[in-house]
Amino acid sequence: MLSRRLAIAVATGAVAALSLGTAAQAAPARHAGHEATLRTLAERPDLLIGTAVDTSALAADAPYRADVASEFSSVTAENVMKWEVVEPARGTYDWSQADQLVSFAQKHGQEVRGHTLLWHNQLPAWLTSGVADGSIDTGELRAILHRHITDEVRHFKGEIYQWDVVNEVFDEDGSYRDSLWLQKLGPSYIADAFKWAHAADPKAKLFMNDYNVEGVNAKSTAYYDLAKKLRAQGVPVQGLGIQGHLDIQYGFPGDVGDNLARFDALGLQTAFTEIDVRMTLPADATKLARQAQDYRRLLDACVAVKGCKSFTVWGFSDKYSWVPGTFTGEGAANIMDENYVRKPAYTALADGLRAAARRTGRH
């Protein structure tokens, strides 16, 4: 992996200057006069600023591509590392779109977050129908999961700095989600998934990932308890991924700082993995200001603890967002509008990164 400083040098086009031992001056033409981008501002306080990437947009939309490259130091595949995409027919892998994203990232000095090895959504149809009609029994399902995790992690070995090993395995009350994994394999599937992923790439940091775990609540406490238990058993769990899908109508979650601090105290990393802050449409200045404040509060919570080293937004432009298709009447959840105009939320993050860089003592 590229060092953080070199990655930033690549992003700013400053490699040639650095190799001659001169000061890094260059910036992408698109940002002439505005050299600072989120990724450069995040160099201090040593934070990776990430985005989910829609690989169709990456291929087709040049302004989108330019912003992915210049603004971010980490990328997450929005969909193309999910099981339904990588193994559409049983035993037939298709890594093509994910590989393209990984090479884009490497070319632009970016790290890659892996998302996700085990989920209850976006599973291949051959798998869900096989379980439903009984043609895949429990023993076989466990073997299929083992092989999937092993093959996917091995395929990207050395290229992924954090993997979301299990995604959304708890309900809001802190009980295990009643997924096909729990129904067929029982709760031990979680420890197994981490052990298998670790065996396939011992250097990747292995995360659990979920929504509504920003603050201290029944669900995040279940994560805390599980992480503590698994670590005591020697299971290689290294981080809690906090999705950060917020909605301004519900208010900002309480105790985010306390929540991150307790995972820090366990020796675990934390990461904001899928941030967006949606609102009921139409957007207006008041709502956008509130949204900006929420983005900023998440960023401030992240930079306040040692273990939070990655802050990822779930897409950056309202042009490509899962929100309107999922939450009726809601949208405008990202930090840029449909035309890549920076919204107050973008400015709030940039200001937050500048403020964090001025403070000392985080790392």
Which residues of the chain form contacts with ligand XIL (CB under 6 A)? 78-79, 167, 243, 274, 322
- Whichever of 12 and 243 has its CB closer to ligand XIL, that residue is 243
Pairing of strands 239-242, 330-331: unpaired
- Whichever of 14 and 166 has its CB closer to ligand XIL, that residue is 166
Q: What residues does 311 pair with on adjacent strands?
A: 49, 272
Q: Which of 87, 318, 326 is closest to 211 using CA atoms? A: 326
Find the catalytic residue in 43, 71, 152, 274.
274
- Whichever of 212 and 238 has its CB closer to ligand XIL, that residue is 212
Query: Is residue 168 annotated as part of the catalytic site, yes or no?
Result: yes
Min dist. Cβ of residue 70 to ligand XIL (A): 22
How far apart, in whole angstroms, are the C-alpha atoms of residue 232 and residue 203?
20
Min dist. Cβ of residue 247 to ligand XIL (A): 13
Does residue 116 have a cis peptide bond before it, meaning omega lies within 30 degrees of 0? yes
Query: Is residue 274 annotated as part of the catalytic site, yes or no?
Result: yes
Q: How far is CA 160 from the centre of its chain?
A: 12
Min dist. Cβ of residue 129 to ligand XIL (A): 20
Q: Which residues of 238-274 are buried (b: 16+ CB within 10 A; e: fewer)?
A: bbbbbbbbbbbeeeebeebbebbbbbbeeebbbbbbb
Q: Which of 99, 226, 91, 77 is closest to 164 using CA atoms? A: 77
How far apart, in whole angstroms, are the C-alpha atoms of residue 279 and residue 268?
32
- Whichever of 73 and 167 has its CB closer to ligand XIL, that residue is 167
Find the catalytic residue in 43, 111, 152, 168.
168
Min dist. Cβ of residue 133 to ligand XIL (A): 25
Whose CB is nearest to ligand XIL? 322
Q: Provide, for the chain, the percentages of residues in helix, strand and coil under a 3-state DSSP scheme, each rounded to the nearest 5.
A: 45, 20, 35
- Whichever of 162 and 243 has its CB closer to ligand XIL, that residue is 243
CB 270 within 8 A of CB 242: yes
Min dist. Cβ of residue 167 to ligand XIL (A): 5
The catalytic residues are 168, 274
